[in-house]
Amino acid sequence: MRETDENGKEKIRYLCAENRFRDSDKFHKFTNNATFFMTEANAKKEGIDLKLIEMLLAFSHFTYQESNGYLMIVDLQGVINCNEDGSNNLILTDPSIHSKNLLRFGKTNFGEKGMKNFFDEHRCNYFCKLLGFAFDNAK
Can you tell me which of 37, 43, 61, 114 binds Zn ion, judged by CB under 5 A?
A: 61
The C-alpha angle 55, 59, 60, rounded to 5 degrees, equals: 125
Of 65 and 108, which has the nearer Cβ to Zn ion? 65
Element at 12 (helix H, strand E): strand 10-12
The reply to whether 128 sits near Zn ion by the rule CB under 5 A is yes
Candidate ranges 18-26, 31-39, 79-87, 116-124; the one touching Zn ion (CB under 5 A): 116-124
The reply to whether 124 sits near Zn ion by the rule CB under 5 A is yes
Candidate ranges 18-26, 86-94, 112-120, 128-136; the one touching Zn ion (CB under 5 A): 128-136
- Alpha-carbon Rg for the chain, nearest whole angstrom, is 18
Of 28 and 61, which has the nearer Cβ to Zn ion? 61
Nearest residue to 65 via CA among 22, 118, 110: 118
CA dihedral 56, 59, 64, 66 (to 10 degrees): 180
The reply to whether 38 sits near Zn ion by the rule CB under 5 A is no
The reply to whether 28 sits near Zn ion by the rule CB under 5 A is no
The reply to whether 98 sits near Zn ion by the rule CB under 5 A is no
Distance CA 96, CA 106 (A): 8
